[in-house]
Amino acid sequence: MNREELSFDDYDETINPAPENTGFDTVVETALSRRGFLGGVMSFGVGTFVLGTTALSTPAGASADRFGFEQVAANTLDTITVPEGFEWKPLTLWGDPLWSDVPAFDEATRGTAASQARAFGDNNDGMSVFNLHGKTLMVVNNEYTNRKLLWGNRPDAQPETDDDIEKGMMAHGVSVFQVTPVDGDWQVMLDSDLNRRITPRTEMDLTGPAAGHDLMKTAADPTGTKALGTWNNCGNGETPWGTYLACEENFNGYFSAEDEAHEVSAELKRYGVSSKDWGYGWAKVDERFDVSKNPNEPNRAGYVVEIDPFNPTSTPKKRTALGRFKHENAEVVIAANGKVVVYMGDDERGEFLYRFVSNGIYTPTGSTEGLLDDGVLSVAKFNDDMTGVWLELTPETTGMSAAEISIHTRMAASKVGATTMDRPEWVAANPAKVEAYVALTNNKNRGVKPNAGGDDTSANGVNPREANNYGQIARWVPDAADHTAKGFIWDLYALAGNPDVHSDAYAGSDNINAGNMFNSPDGLLFDDNGLLWIQTDGAYSNEGDFAGMGNNQMLVGDTVTGEIRRFMVGPKECEVTGMCWSPDRRTMFVGIQHPGEKSGSHFPHGGDTLPRSGVFAISRKDGAVIG
């Protein structure tokens, strides 16, 4: 087993395998009834794809070209490919200084812990632009670090010193920096008093139902209200009151025990915490990552962290009311009744889709402090008749206290019979219509084995394909156009697939064709024009089931007509993740994460240079608005 070659999920599964499914007959039965169900809704391959049947229907004639670009072809080049008339430039790359006294990134040493702590982190993911008093700030998650590259100057790419391990730790967290246009190009403003690095050592407040609970107390924090740091921040969110939400995803892979035979609790196992980390070695430099010594420390990670970007000395807040799981992003919507709704996916095979609804009402002039601490967390159940319901997680429905629900959220969700999903990644709410979309990236275990909690993962309406290696995008419309309603109706906006290789459901829905096919939708975001941007994080072999798909990419979907066009192709071995726009909407910032994760890229500088993750600015050559 080579830890470097395994994905987060695969490594977790190797350590803590789920039981094999014993109900094969049930799987077949469900698959057969699924065919009947889908027959009335959509057909595959050469058939027609009907987007829904009721409120989701496509109006006739709504087919004007809203894209404003010609689709780019799939490719396997080691560069960014954008449509004719567009161009791209790097804004900041892993290791680029945020202050002028920090040495420039050094390919030979890859820097030190001290330089990395004051430079842009690695493997950026979700990001936002904020504007206040004429200042433009970018806030960017740095999800994880590619250890092969970070320690590639050492024998066998293993850390030699504590500083090597610390450097890896400092490559994680959040980077905050001011940007400004210089000669038409956006640049990072070194030394801005707003620049900030948030790392796994930054002090944070724990707020909401779990704050102060016994499960949150550690030797270093007997109050259970102060945590240190954030890491593995994946997708993001923004609140209408100008704060940034960093979502902690695969937080588990950083914990270990000196004694690898140490057995963790069932609750920690459900989250993939074990005595073996993924190779980061943080417990060697900081005992709080040793679960045998600090078994409650993992309970203090896996949250949504709220950051006030324009106050560089503010203390970030871990909002436990939003639940603890492998958070993807946090899509915030203000419902018609003024309540704050946050949609959130738990990105693991067979885990769930969540919704938080605040008890309080948001008003632009009122206090927002408690809004994300006090509310009701629910989990989605998708019925095969294309209706759905949000199941509340309360002491009454789960038999758990409010604090326990906030800490052991996955167990709470398993108790109420929520629908196990094909790895919920980003959720995006349509600004032009009361509806939302979720990327269900893929799930090779669908119909094969239960989730880590033992919940059934037979194929179902919204996750209709067994061993689903392509993924799908589902959408739902809340009842009565109310994001706080209990019920909704749903359909599938797109089933990714390969119509060149398959002629059944694995060919994809009818809006997928040889020209735009992709796999593993992940990042989702609406632009101001109501177009849905889709980023992928999937197989890039360009062979077999994935032949013709090329590298990971970014596409744009018209949610009215269903049409999807490829806008961009990323470099080799990357995923495309994270996006935001300049205030004038003339520049789109896009994240390129882990180019060359298998050593096959030199992006962006070419030659023999190290591949580096980064933020890239895409604009039209004619300077027009893009999105």
Of 609, 443, 571, 544, the residue nearest 105 (C-alpha): 609
Task: Tell me which residue has tokens 């704060």.
Answer: 243
**Total chain residues near ligand FEO (CB under 6 A):** 7
Beta-bridge partner residues of 532? 526, 557
**Residue 234 in the binding site for ligand FEO (CB under 6 A):** yes
Q: Minimum distance from CB of 549 to Ca ion (Å)?
A: 15
Cβ atoms of residues 537 and 520 within 8 Å: yes
Instruction: Map the footprint of Ca ion across residues 551-570, applying CB under 5 A.
Output: none
List the x/- string, 207-226, binding to ligand FEO by CB under 6 A. --------------------
Partner in contact with 404, chosen from Ca ion, ligand FEO, none, beta carbon below 5 to 8 Å by kind: none
Q: Minimum distance from CB of 346 to Ca ion (Å)?
A: 12
**Residue 290 in the binding site for Ca ion (CB under 5 A):** no
User: How many CA atoms lie less than 13 Å away from 314 in the CB half-sphere?
Assistant: 16
Pairing state between β 564-569 and 553-558: antiparallel
Q: Minimum distance from CB of 593 to Ca ion (Å)?
A: 9
List the x/- string, 23-52, binding to Ca ion by CB under 5 A. ------------------------------
Instruction: Map the footprint of ligand FEO across residues 413-442, applying CB under 6 A.
Output: 425
DSSP string covering 127-141, please?
A: EEEEEETTEEEEEEE
Q: Minimum distance from CB of 216 to ligand FEO (Å)?
A: 24
Interacting span for Ca ion (CB under 5 A) from 33-41, 217-225, 258-266, 536-544: 536-544
Q: Minimum distance from CB of 125 to ligand FEO (Å)?
A: 6
Cβ distance to ligand FEO smaller for residue 125 or 466: 125
Task: Tell which one of 166, 248, 286, 328 touches ligand FEO (CB under 6 A).
Answer: 328
User: What is the spatial distance between Cα 554 and Cα 568, in angstroms, rounded to a whole number?
Assistant: 5
Cβ distance to Ca ion smaller for residue 340 or 473: 473
**Residue 522 in the binding site for Ca ion (CB under 5 A):** yes
Burial class (CB in 10 A: 0-12, 13-18, 19+), 542: middle
Beta-bridge partner residues of 181? 186
Partner in contact with 249, chosen from Ca ion, ligand FEO, none, beta carbon below 5 to 8 Å by kind: ligand FEO
Task: Tell which one of 238, 306, 435, 537 touches Ca ion (CB under 5 A).
Answer: 537
Q: Minimum distance from CB of 324 to ligand FEO (Å)?
A: 16
Q: Minimum distance from CB of 424 to Ca ion (Å)?
A: 10
User: What is the spatial distance between Cα 346 and Cα 340, in angstroms, rounded to a whole number?
Assistant: 19
Cβ distance to ligand FEO smaller for residue 78 or 425: 425
**Total chain residues near Ca ion (CB under 5 A):** 3
Could you tell me the CA-to-CA distances from 586 to 182, 278, 514, 627 in Å, in that order? 14, 40, 30, 8
Cβ distance to ligand FEO smaller for residue 248 or 510: 248
Cβ atoms of residues 567 and 597 within 8 Å: no
Instruction: Map the footprint of ligand FEO across residues 121-150, applying CB under 6 A.
Output: 125, 143
Classify each residue of 165-192 as buried b or exposed e, where b means 16 or more C-beta atoms within 10 Å of its C-beta: bbbbbbbbbbbbbbbeeeeeebebbeeb
The Cβ of residue 71 has, within 10 Å, a number of other Cβ atoms equal to: 16
Instruction: Map the footprint of Ca ion across residues 402-431, applying CB under 5 A.
Output: 425
Residues making up the chain, counted from first to last: 627
The Cβ of residue 515 has, within 10 Å, a number of other Cβ atoms equal to: 13
Cβ distance to ligand FEO smaller for residue 12 or 347: 347
The Cβ of residue 82 has, within 10 Å, a number of other Cβ atoms equal to: 21
Cβ atoms of residues 321 and 377 within 8 Å: yes
Cβ distance to ligand FEO smaller for residue 349 or 602: 349
Residues near Ca ion (CB under 5 A): 425, 522, 537
Residues near ligand FEO (CB under 6 A): 125, 143, 234, 249, 328, 347, 425
